Amino acid sequence: MKTTEQEKLERRANILKALAHPSRLMMVDELAKGERCVCELQELVGADMSTVSKHLAVLKKAGLVESDKRGLQVFYTLLSPCVMNFFTCVESVIEAHTEQTIEAGNR
Amino acid sequence: MKTTEQEKLERRANILKALAHPSRLMMVDELAKGERCVCELQELVGADMSTVSKHLAVLKKAGLVESDKRGLQVFYTLLSPCVMNFFTCVESVIEAHTEQTIEAGNR
DNA sequence: TAACTGCTTGGCAATATAGCCAAATAGCGC
DNA sequence: GCGCTATTTGGCTATATTGCCAAGCAGTTA
């Protein structure tokens, strides 16, 4: 199974795409603290349970989380906490960009 | 100017969304090596120049790159090389996920 | 000014994503 | 089995993204 450069990029992009949503980021952030059931995450993001479930499916498909059904509830776990490190970088982008935008008078 | 938790998440998501495309990842990767003009990036990704230009506009809007017109050419620079660090994490997600998928017999 | 180059923008069609409701599914207690 | 709860899935519409072509625009050269 040969991995072309193109496939590599697509896989990277898919992981980023999976993270690229406010609700999903919120969930990942919460899951970084420990496993959570869908109901907890639903309360957190305040959307329909079906919506939350679909978001979780996206994260799972990307390989970012894992699910474990115990009784009636399904618990999700963050598989790659290193994802959180990225946010430090993201914050620096945001800061720099905000300054720049203000400097430029919101041009 | 108060930054609500929601706005923070949206800004993070926007940066991730800006990165979440194979062609844009390829360009960011290239720009990590140094500034490049649009024509060089076009050759790299092999798409229409207008497409490349639009991708660059997305990266610029997110605050990830900067552009500088010199003569007829426009040169782009990567503003936040820390973005590259993330890819180490992304690779680990991919590896773990691939193993998992193979283990599960591509279920 | 005119023609040329490098790039950006507008417009459009194809495709993907988001979020709601309703229906289906799975596990539990009776 | 029946009803109940937690979650997932299907279906739908609204909205966003992508990538091409054509047109526009700025800088250069003649």
Please give the tally of structural domains in chain B.
1
- What pLDDT is stored for residue A100 in this prediction? 67
Interatomic CA distance for residues A45 and A43, integer angstroms: 6
Q: Give residues with Cβ within 8 angstroms of B37, minimum separation 6.
A: B73, B74, B75, B76
Residues 7-46 of A with CB under 7 A from strand D: 37-39, 42
Interatomic CA distance for residues B29 and B36, integer angstroms: 11
Pick the closest to residue B74 from B28, B50, B27, B39 (CA basis). B39
- What pLDDT is stored for residue B73 in this prediction? 97
Answer whether residue B50 is part of any domain: yes
- What pLDDT is stored for residue A95 in this prediction? 80
Answer whether residue A75 is part of any domain: yes
Helix (H, G, I), strand (E, B) or coil at B1: coil
Residue A70: CATH number of its domain: 1.10.10.10
Q: Which residues of A touch B21 (CB under 8 A)?
A: 13
Answer whether residue A89 is part of any domain: no
- Domain range enclosing A20: 5-79
Inter-CA distances, B68 with A54, A93, A98, B37, B65, Å: 42, 19, 19, 9, 10
Answer whether residue A46 is part of any domain: yes
- What pLDDT is stored for residue A8 in this prediction? 87
Answer whether residue B58 is part of any domain: yes
> Would you tell me which residues have their CB within 7 A of strand C?
A 17, 20-21, 23, 47-48, 50-51, 54-55, 58, 69, 71-72; B 37-39, 42, 49-50, 52-54, 56-57, 67, 72-74
Helices (H), chain B: 5-19, 22-31, 38-45, 49-61, 83-103
Q: What are phi and psi of A76, to 5 degrees?
A: -110, 145
Block mean pLDDT (10 aa), chain B, length 107: 76 95 96 97 96 98 96 96 85 76 56
Query: pLDDT (tens digit, 9 = 90+) per residue, A54-92?
Result: 999 999 999 999 999 999 999 999 998 888 888 888 888
Mean pLDDT of all residues belonging to chain A? 89
The pLDDT > 70 percentage for chain A reads: 90
Q: Is the pLDDT score of A45 beyond 60? A: yes
